[in-house]
Amino acid sequence: MSEIEQHPVLEHIVNVLSKAIVDSKTEKKSEKTAVIKDGNSIIQLDYLADGDELTIWITDKNEILFSEDLLEELQDIDTTAGSNASLKTALQNATIVVNELTIETKFIFQAVKESFDTLSTSYEFIKTIKKQENGFTTQFKFGDNKFELTVINEPAEVKVEANCDDIKNSKVVDTIKADTTKVYTALNQLFK
């Protein structure tokens, strides 16, 4: 039985992550899919190509990459290529998506939750409603009032919008909108 040949970008990312996650084991499922096992947790990496566009789609249900602080390493993955110029270029041009969000959008997601926590203990993150590579919609509570927050990570700015249509108290709406503006400003200072 011959060994499965995988794209160098996929193979490199799997090697970097498996070395960083102590006692993990790797398995090549196919030319386009690899799995890293950490105890009972599984991280699946899929190589997707569309013309010159290369995406590494990572499914990490237990958020191992986040808990092991490996998102930063993934964001700067090209620096791990050493003197291999073609691999470095391929890594720079690849898009890495973790649990449906690009790495930068994943950082923004964490920053949004932390920002609202910092602004007031009255904010509570409820759940993520929708994800796409460059954005997400979440549900928050402010006291007893639920609202949706949509964040889109565009090249020039991070857009943040609160939907407070179901909240009847105008003072609560004004507070949420003012805090959303503060989060918008902070995110754009951090990420753009």
State pTM to two decimals. Answer: 0.85
Sign of CA pseudo-dihedral 165, 169, 175, 178: positive
Can you give the pLDDT of all 192 residues of the chain as single tens digits?
Answer: 458 889 999 999 999 999 999 999 999 999 999 999 999 999 999 999 988 889 999 999 999 998 889 999 999 999 999 999 999 999 999 999 999 999 999 999 999 999 999 999 999 999 999 999 999 999 999 999 999 999 999 999 999 999 999 999 999 999 999 999 999 999 999 999
Nearest Cα neighbor of 40 from 24, 20, 29 is 24
Beta-bridge partner residues of 35 = 27, 44
33-38 and 41-50 beta bridge pairing: antiparallel
Residue 45's alpha-carbon distances to 20, 75, 166, 171, in angstroms, are 15, 15, 40, 46
Domain boundaries, the chain: 8-99, 104-191
